[in-house]
């Protein structure tokens, strides 16, 4: 991402010289305006806009770019990767309880459990199995 700007310098004679550049610090150095004030202003603008003030290597710039990015847990492509199954399930259970939604598969499973219990094929309740009957 290259930021371009136009930097106008007016001399006492009234003519202006126009410098197009991508870095205010370099533009000031080219003009020989590396006074303490100019350096401090360049450092301040770099801090405000998140630029690097001192010359850095490409490896260090990679670290700077990584630190500029949002953390992974704040990125929507990471946090919204899986669909919200639990929220949908809870919402559907509430709607089913109120009577606005019928889950036919759940009704079918409940009916099959009821029929199996009537036939005597359902698992026994806790404390009524073979092992519990041996103790009694």
This prediction's pTM:
0.37
Q: Which two tokens stand for residue 92?
A: 């559907």
Mean pLDDT computed over every residue of the chain: 80
Q: Is 6 helix (H, G, I), strand (E, B) or coil?
A: strand
The Cα 63–Cα 61 span in angstroms is: 5
19 — pLDDT class (breaks 50, 70, 90): very low
Q: Which two tokens stand for residue 84?
A: 């919200």
DSSP state of 100: S
101 — pLDDT class (breaks 50, 70, 90): very high
């Amino acid at each position: 991402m290259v930021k371009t700007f136009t930097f106008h310098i007016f001399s006492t004679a009234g003519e202006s010289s126009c410098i197009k550049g991508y870095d205010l610090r370099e533009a000031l150095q080219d003009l020989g305006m590396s006074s303490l004030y100019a350096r401090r202003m360049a450092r301040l603008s770099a801090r405000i806009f998140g630029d690097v003030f001192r010359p850095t290597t490409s490896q260090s710039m990679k670290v700077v770019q990584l630190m500029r990015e949002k953390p992974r847990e704040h990125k929507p492509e990471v946090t919204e990767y899986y669909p919200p199954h639990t929220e949908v399930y809870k919402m559907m259970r509430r709607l089913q309880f109120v009577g606005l939604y019928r889950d036919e598969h759940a009704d079918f499973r409940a009916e099959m459990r009821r029929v199996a219990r009537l036939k005597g094929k359902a698992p026994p309740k806790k404390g009524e199995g073979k092992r519990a009957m041996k103790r009694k």
